Structure 1
Amino acid sequence: MASSSESTRARGVDRVVALLRQLHDARRPLSMRELIESTGAPRSSVYELVTILTDAGWLETRPDGSVFFGREMHYYGADYAVHNDLISRAHQTILSLVKVHDETAQLCMLEGNKYTVVLSENSARPFNISSDIGVRVPIPWTATGRLLLAHLSADEIRALIPDEDFVLDNGTRIVFDDFLHDVERAAQLGYCCTEGLSQTFRCCMAAPIRDRAGHAVAALCFMTGRDTDPSKRAAMLDDLIRSAKALSQTYAR
C-alpha cells in the first residue's frame, strides 16, 4: 500500500503531465488561469509547478505572464529524434521525397486510439497541405489509420475507436462496415489513398513501415491536392511505397 508521501508525489507527477499536455494541445502560451482551469489542479499547485519547471528550463514565462515550453524541451525532443533509429532515418527519407516531388511528406503513427503526425516537411510551393506535429486526430479521418489497423479484428477495431470519431469535421458519419472494408482493402493493396476526408481538397497517400513481425507500426504519407495530375500521383505513390519498404527492411533488422 502506497504511503501518503508517495501518493502526493504521484499526484504531483500527474499534474506535471497534465500541464504539459494542455500546453501541447493548445499549441500556444497559456495564462495561469487557463492552466488552472484546464488541469483542474489547485491554484497553489499550478503556481508551484510552473515555478519549478521554469527554473529547470522546461517552461518559459512570457512578459505578459503566459507560460509555454522552454528551451530544455527542445533539446530533449532533438535528442529523441537523433537516437530513435526509425525517426532519424525517416527524416532523411521525407526530405528526399519532398525534394523530388515538391509535395508535403510526413511520418505518421498511432498514439493510443488516435493518429498523429511525428515528422512533417512541407513543399516549397506557396500552397501546401499539412497537419501539425503531435496533434491527435481521429483514426477514421486518415489513410494512415486504415493501414495501421490491419492486424486487428473487427471487434478490436470497434473497441479501440470511440464512436464519435467516425464523424468527420463536416458532420458526415463514416459507416463502420465501410471503414472496415477500407482497412481490409488497404491490407491487401499494401497502401491506402483517401480523398476529402479531414479536408475537402486534400488527397492523402500512405504506405506502411513494418516491423520484424510484419505489422505496420508507422506510415510514410504524401499530402497533396485532389486536382494533382494522375501521372504525378502514380509516381508519388510508387516512390512512397518503395521508400516505406526500404525503411521497413532497416527497421526489421
Structure 2
Amino acid sequence: MSSYLPAQPRSAARMPAKRTNGTERALDILDCMARLNRSASRVELVSETGMPRSTVYAVTEFLLQRGWLTEGPTGLLLGPQAGFISNAYLHQQGFEHLARQILAELSEQTGNLSELDVIDNWYHVAALSEGLFAQGYLRPVEGARLPLMPTAAARIMLADLPESLIRQNIPEEALRDAHGAYLPWERFISEMREGQLKGYVHIDGWLGGLATTLACPVVGENGQILASVCIIIQSGSAAPHLAANLPPLMEAGKKLSALLRRMSWPYAESCKRRLMSSG
C-alpha cells in the first residue's frame, strides 16, 4: 500500500536551506562585529566577511530590526540584544568557571602552570590553578595561603595601595625574597613601581633556582587591581622566556579584566575591601 504526501511548493521546499544560510550569514556578521570591537560600516562588513553587498545590507537590516545591531553616528554597533545574551551567558557560567577556561588556555599556549591569585588578609592565595609543572610533580593547592612578600603577584596586587598601608600591615620578619634572604623595603617598593610601569613582574629563583614566576594585573570595573594572573616557568631566569610567555600572559590578563568589567567576583572584591580598610 503506497502512502500519499501532498507536494510542497518549490519555495517551501527550499526554505530550510535558505533559513540555514541566512542564519549562518547573520552569525558571521555578529562574529565580525565582536572581533572588530568597534563601529563598522556596511561597506567594511562586505570587505571583512566576503559577502555580497546586497546580502550584507539585507542581513544587517534584519539584525537592526531584532536589536542585535544598532546604528551609531560612526556606523553599526552591537545592539542591546547581543548584550542581553552575553549577560545571560556570564550569569549562567559564573566568573570562576569562565576564568578557569582562560587559565587552561594560557597553560596550553605556554606549557606552564597558570594561577589566578588574590591577596586575602595580607596573604597570597592561589584562588584558581590550571596546568602542571615539571611533568605533574607540582601543582599548588587551590586556596593555599602563601607568604606574600616573595611573590611576583604581590608586587602586582599591592601596586595601587598606599605605601604607608603596605608597610603598616607587613611585619619586618616577612620581608623575604624567593631565596629566603632579607628583602629591603626599598627594593620591594622599587620592583613594585617598576612592575606598574611595565605591566608585569617576574621573580626568579623559586624551588632552589629552578623556577620563575611571571605575573600581570587583573583589573576590576572601578580600575582597582583585584587579582593577578601568573605563570610558573620551569627555568631559573625569565629573560630567555619572556618573548614566548609574556604576550599570552598579558592577553589572559586582558580577558580576565574584561570578565570582571561584565560580572562580579565577590571573593576578590571582598578581599580588596578588607585590604583597603586595614589601615
Q: TM-score range by the shorter chain?
A: 0.5 to 0.7
The RMSD of aligned alpha carbons is 2.5
CA–CA separation in structure 1 for the residues paired with 2:137 and 2:110: 12
Find the counterpart in structure 2 of residue 90 from structure 1: 99
Within a 5 Å distance, the mapping from 1:1-253 to structure 2 comes to 85-123=94-132, 126=135, 129-168=138-177, 170-197=179-206, 199-227=208-236, 232-253=241-262
SS in 2 for 1:140: coil
Q: CA deviation at 1:207?
A: 1.3
CA–CA separation in structure 2 for the residues paired with 1:235 and 1:104: 14
Contact 2:133-2:232 within 8 A present in 1 as well: no
Stretches of structure 2 lacking an aligned partner (at least 5 in a row): 1-90, 263-279
Structure 2 vs 1, CA of residues 170 and 98 (structure 1 numbering), >3 Å: closer, same or farther?
closer
Contact 2:202-2:238 within 8 A present in 1 as well: no
**TM-score normalized by the length of structure 2:** 0.56
CA–CA separation in structure 2 for the residues paired with 1:125 and 1:155: 39
Stretches of structure 1 lacking an aligned partner (at least 5 in a row): 1-81
Q: CA deviation at 1:130?
A: 3.7
CA–CA separation in structure 2 for the residues paired with 1:216 and 1:102: 26
Contact 1:102-1:125 within 8 A present in 2 as well: no
Q: CA deviation at 1:123?
A: 3.0
Contact 1:168-1:197 within 8 A present in 2 as well: no
CA–CA separation in structure 2 for the residues paired with 1:198 and 1:182: 21
**TM-score normalized by the length of structure 1:** 0.61
**Residues 99-157 of structure 1: per-residue CA shift (max 9 Å, x gap):** 22221111111111110101112337526554332221121110000000111121111
Letter in 1 for 2:225: A
Find the counterpart in structure 1 of residue 16 from structure 2: none
Contact 2:178-2:205 within 8 A present in 1 as well: no
Larger Rg: 2
Contact 1:168-1:198 within 8 A present in 2 as well: no
Identity of aligned residues (%): 23
Structure 2 vs 1, CA of residues 248 and 194 (structure 1 numbering), >3 Å: closer, same or farther?
same
Following TM superposition, where does structure 1 have runs of at least 4 consecutive aligned residues deviating by more than 6 angstroms?
Answer: none
SS in 2 for 1:141: coil
Q: CA deviation at 1:179?
A: 0.3
Contact 2:112-2:233 within 8 A present in 1 as well: yes
CA–CA separation in structure 1 for the residues paired with 2:120 and 2:185: 20
Structure 2 vs 1, CA of residues 202 and 83 (structure 1 numbering), >3 Å: closer, same or farther?
farther
Structure 2 vs 1, CA of residues 160 and 85 (structure 1 numbering), >3 Å: closer, same or farther?
farther
CA–CA separation in structure 2 for the residues paired with 1:111 and 1:200: 27
SS in 1 for 2:209: coil
Find the counterpart in structure 1 of residue 57 from structure 2: none
Letter in 1 for 2:132: S
Structure 2 vs 1, CA of residues 169 and 125 (structure 1 numbering), >3 Å: closer, same or farther?
closer
Instruction: State the number of aligned residues.
Output: 172
CA–CA separation in structure 2 for the residues paired with 1:198 and 1:112: 25
Contact 2:204-2:237 within 8 A present in 1 as well: no
